[in-house]
A and B are shown apart, each in its own frame.
Chain A
Amino acid sequence: MIWIRRFAVAFLGLVFALGLAADWVAPAPYARQFRAEPNAPPSREFPLGLDGLGRDRFSRLLQGTRISLLLAPAAALIAISVALLIGGSAGFLGGWWDHAAMRVTDLFLSLPWLFLFLTARAMLPLNVAPSASIVITFAMMGLLGWASSARVIRSAVPELLSSEFALYARACGCAEPRIWRRHLLPHLRVLLTAQFWILIPVFILGEASLGLLGLGVAEPLPSWGNLIRELESVPALAEYWVLAPVLLLAAVMICFQLVKTGRGVQTF
């Protein structure tokens, strides 16, 4: 198992490094259009071929790595924080607050938020810098995407509160904040990290659908999300190299998980 973990760490390090160094590593500028041969298949010069506008897919993938791998985790962090605040307080305080918080959570799960994104786009100036629009989009996704995690956290908190170790700590006269810090949060961490890792790809892909509405990453900037959207048009089976962004996203997700599970493996 240890070699798997090492491999995963190395792979993640490589992807991050390549993403950060995209400007120097990429064989071609990500926006450059080689118009003579759009849709060219992979070659030595362009390892993943050219897209419909003649742009180097490999360079775009590297550039997209930076945007997606920096912003999606940030958005997931926002969502998890809000979820912890709402779900945790609901589970801890109980009573009417629990009730109200859970109703709000239910509403957040069911409202057509699409229109809020449309309104946000309408309120932004048309010539907004691409970076500002990306950050706003991810921030909004983070602020709106907490509801399902909040419910899950809320359900776990009472269990923890009535667990033996919490009872014991309380019986020993331990103060509430300390109980939270030393006993409850570490136990919640498993839950929180699981939710966190689920939300990252959700946000990465979500950004692509928002790109359809004029929010998110504006042309010609690439992101993993809008690179994956290419799969909706090209017969992916015939042109397997178009699958590269999905495979990379999947590989990153898998490696993160392997790093996590690879730590302290026990046999049953």
Chain B
Amino acid sequence: MRWLPCLLACQALFAQGELRFNLRHEPKTLNPILAAEDASQAIAYLTGGVLIRVNRLTQELQPELAESWKVAPDNRSIVIHIRKGVRFSDGTPFTAEDVAWTLQTATDPKLHSPAGESFSAKGSPARGQVLGPDAVSIVFAAPVASLERLFDQLPILSSKSPLKEKAALGPFMVASYQPGIEVVLRRNPNYWKKDASGKQLPYLDAVRLPIQQNREIEFARFSRGEIHLINQLEPELFDRLKKANPEAAFDAGPSTDVDFLWFNQVAGASIPDYKKDWFRSRNFRNAISRAINREDLCRVVFRGRGRPAVGPFSPANKFWFNAKLTPSRFDPTAALKLLQQDGFSRKGDVLFDKQGHAVEFSVITNAGNRIRERMAVLIQQDLQAIGVKLNIVTLDFPSLIERITKTFQYESCLLGLTNVDLDPNEMMNIWMSSSEDHGWNPSQKTPATPWEAEIDNLMRAQSAAGERLKRKALFDRVQEILRQEEPYIYLAHRNSLSAVSPSLRGVHPAALFPQTYWDIEHLSLK
């Protein structure tokens, strides 16, 4: 009963039109163009105005601050006509100059702005050229496939406002920030959007973002009505919510997140040669993949709210997902047959390779991630059925990053990937064999295998192709090769689950970030 008076007091404290939801980490920056991690990106999404937006439901481009645009046929430049009469939150007019200036700032090599990084091609940054008060042309050093989608990630800053990056073009602006406690956003009085009836948006007066890491406590706060939204709800909590308050639980179907397992194929890694031979063998990788029961993984770990994965993209990526591919089917007998082709044999409960080594390897994953730890334990049991011993090692995140990016002291790794962008061009760094992000064998001088060479060529071709359907055909082939070779053994896509308070109106949860509040300007509280 003790919290009842507290609750009443809280309600009196909070403003009527104030939306509240948690940030799960301390935002590392409030400057929208520097936002790199979730918390900063959430604030950047709410405060930053962008030229072109990827609609989170339809996944099509829609004009925001750009009234219209035209991409040159060579895919190297774009001319953008900006919306007239728009003002920043402090009243400074928005001009084409601001666009050029933002681009210049974001691509400053000293700032390490992730948004700015995407505007580099062939190592040199794109440049903006002001064509008039309402028009700007942006020229890249090399052709970039579907370059207009890049603008979704580039919030425009003011070149003239005395408030600098604090002057906002988005629906909200930062009102206060207490490190470790909360960020409060207030509605931008000069926001340009109006609803159908001509009323100025956003409907909400403020957004309060307490910084709160613990999921159980976040859930308890939601149940008490202290916060209105939870994005990326854990399946267990979702089930609990579904029982207690079914109209607050939303399942937007598969998200773009994917969990996967891969083997270390780095030539110089400090693992025994015979293990390197296993990991480089397609049969071995396919066999492990077939021995993993993905259906169980989804049912047990995601409580049925996930689906087996076939590749890097989930069906949530409407355009780029290759729907012709089917996930590896659970079949231990077929797995053993594949292994026999490589000379493996099973004696009793243990699998031996052709030189007589018992098959045993370790998998590293990040500690404290309940979902991934459980996945690992399920896989451990699945592999035991074909005589493979899997040792699970959970590491804290910096230790894990060090092992997979610097020292390569690991055998296999279980990790997840959140696709920020829907376009495969953004994944160039992962697929090119010369890249540092080429997880299983990074920074190769020449492609180690013919199929990696083929992926390299396909990725280059799709980037240069320009035409979307042609690119799609090329990337479909990449997904096909990945499915055959399984350098990454894709496991499952979790569903995009969220909790939305019934008092919040106008919510259309989407599979993409920021799931519940992507159209924040249209949300309102009862």
Contact = CB atoms under 8 A, between A and B. Distances in A.
Does B associate with A? yes
Interface of A: 31, 33, 35, 38, 52-54, 118, 121-122, 126-128, 130, 211-214, 218-220, 232-233, 235
A78 to B, nearest CB: 25
B373 A219 contact: yes
Contacts of A218: 391-393
Contacts of A220: 377, 380-381
Contacts of B216: 232-233, 235
B362 A213 contact: no
B300 A214 contact: no
A212 B391 contact: no
A16 to B, nearest CB: 28
A219 B376 contact: yes
B82 to A, nearest CB: 49
B293 to A, nearest CB: 8
Given A35-B300, A127-B360, A219-B392, A212 B367 contact: yes
A127 B360 CA distance: 8
B236 A126 contact: no
B393 A126 contact: yes
Contacts, number: 71
B429 interface: no
B299 interface: yes
A172 to B, nearest CB: 59
Given A53-B374, A54-B300, A127-B361, 15 more contacts: A31-B381, A33-B378, A33-B381, A52-B236, A121-B393, A126-B409, A127-B360, A213-B367, A213-B395, A214-B395, A218-B391, A219-B376, A219-B377, A232-B216, A233-B370
A47 B362 CA distance: 33
Nearest to B366: A214
B399 interface: yes
18 contacts: A33-B381, A52-B300, A53-B377, A53-B378, A118-B396, A121-B393, A121-B395, A121-B399, A126-B411, A127-B360, A127-B361, A128-B391, A212-B368, A213-B394, A213-B396, A218-B393, A219-B377, A219-B380
A220 B392 CA distance: 9
Interface string B280-322: 0000000000000000100110000000000000000000000
Q: What are the 8 closest A-B residue pairs judged by CB atoms, nearest first?
A: A126-B362, A214-B394, A219-B392, A214-B395, A212-B367, A219-B377, A38-B300, A127-B362
Contacts of B240: 235
A128 B376 CA distance: 17
Contacts of A38: 300
Contacts of B394: 211-214
A130 B394 CA distance: 13
Contacts of B368: 212
Contacts of B411: 126-127
A126 B391 contact: yes
B200 to A, nearest CB: 43
Nearest to A31: B381
A232 B217 CA distance: 11
Interface in B393-428: 393-396, 399, 409-411
A39 to B, nearest CB: 8
Contacts of A219: 373, 376-377, 380, 392
B54 interface: no
A121 B409 CA distance: 12
Nearest to B299: A35
Nearest to B398: A118
Contact of A214 (B299, B374, B381, B396): B396
